[in-house]
Amino acid sequence: MHSWQLKDYVFAAFMSIGTLLAAVITQGFALMIPLPGARAILWAPFAGVFLTLAMARLRHVGAVFLVITPVGLLLGLINPIIPIVLISAAAITEGVMTLRKGYGGSFNRFLGNVVFFEGTILLSMLAAVTGLTQALGLTPRAINLPLWLAVPAIGIGALMGSLAWWLGEQVVRQLVKAGKLDEDL
Count of residues for the chain? 185
pLDDT in tens, the chain (185 residues): 578 899 999 999 999 999 999 988 888 777 777 666 667 888 888 999 999 999 999 999 999 999 999 999 999 998 888 899 999 999 999 999 999 999 999 999 999 999 999 999 888 888 777 766 655 665 555 566 666 777 787 788 889 889 999 999 999 999 999 988 886 65
DSSP string, 115-131: HHHHHHHHHHHHHHHTT
Residue 37 — φ and ψ, nearest 5°?
90, -25
Query: Which amino acid is located at 133 in the chain?
Result: T
Name the DSSP class of 147: G
C-alpha angle 73-79-82 in degrees, rounded to nearest 5: 55
> Which pLDDT score, from 0 to 100, does residue 142 have?
54
pLDDT in tens, 122-133: 888 887 777 666
DSSP string, 43-108: HHHHHHHHHHHHHHHH-STTHHHHHHHHHHHHHTTT-THHHHHHHHHHHHHHHHHHHTTSS-SHHH
For the CA atoms of 24, 26, 29, 35, the dihedral, rounded to the nearest 10 degrees, stands at: -100
Q: Could you tell me what percent of the chain has a pLDDT over 90?
A: 56
**Cα-only R_g, the chain:** 16
CA-closest candidate to residue 43, choices 71, 22, 16, 69: 22
Beta carbons of 153 and 122 less than 8 angstroms apart:
yes
pLDDT in tens, 12-21: 999 999 999 9
> Which pLDDT score, from 0 to 100, does residue 182 have?
80
Tell me the C-alpha distance between 78 and 74, whole Å.
Answer: 8
The pTM score is 0.88
Tell me the C-alpha distance between 35 and 13, whole Å.
Answer: 30
> Which pLDDT score, from 0 to 100, does residue 156 have?
83
